[in-house]
Amino acid sequence: MLYTLITGASKGIGKAFALECAQRGMNLILVARSGHLLEELSTELSAKFQVNVRTHTADLLDHAVQRKIFAWINENGFEVNMLINNAGMGYYGKFEQQPLEKHLEVLHLNVDAQIRMAHEFLNASNPNQKRYLLNTVSTGAFQPVPYMAVYCATKAFMLSFSRALRFELRKQSVNVTALCPGGTETDFFTPAQMDGVAEKNALFMMKADKVAKAGLDGLLSNKAVVIPGWYNQIGAFAARHAPQGIVVSQASSFFKPD
């Protein structure tokens, strides 16, 4: 029996991925810090879609937890052929005015934890089985964004990593996709202290289920990069081709604190 492993699965895009995968008959291993939310989601998906759902409560900010997750998977005899590497976080405001610890948490969860998950997955999964790896990135990967400097730098890193890893694995049976959503209707903005930014950009927000569907479709069809929403695609194109001074200035206008 094959399983899809989803991190950050209790809320937002991760929860939307769980729903989308379950609708397609995929068995799931759901990982997040919120154990009670995982159990509620597991009960819902198992009953509604008749798929096998396992949950594992873990804090991916723990440097050793990725190895522990895959040790638990191995001990239980679960075979994982798809990793949706989704857990992430952001923090908003002028760099020097925010706690250094918050910046380092963003760096660790968005980069270090995702790389550790990908490495464990590729080494633990069956090389003779078709495998799938999706990294949830962001349109923030395409340009520097003032007031979210660390967050967008981590996303640029993960986009570069995903593209390079895809090339390394091109002769193996592994799909690697970077999902780069723009603003999405999730609870990301409140802990990131970005409610005001979300309100200013409400017109361009996408539903999490649309983002998850686009990401899963892209992964299964082996797309390198998926950017859901035509306005996000235009923005990413402009960010890559316009003068960088203009790009940074324009990004600042969207994210400047009130």
Tokens of 46: 């198992």
- Please give the order of strands across the beta sheet that includes 27-32: 53-57, 27-32, 2-7, 79-85, 131-136, 174-179, 225-226
151 counts as catalytic: yes
Active-site residue, selected from the candidate residues 91, 132, 151, 231: 151
State the Cα angle at 159 between 158 and 165, rounded to 5°: 85
- 33 CB contacts (<8 Å, ≥6 apart)? 10, 57, 58, 59, 60
Contact 234, 241 (CB under 8 A): no
Pairing of β 174-179 and β 79-85: unpaired
Q: How many CB atoms lie within 10 A of CB 171?
A: 7
Q: Give me 206's structure tokens.
A: 């996408």
Catalytic center residues: 151
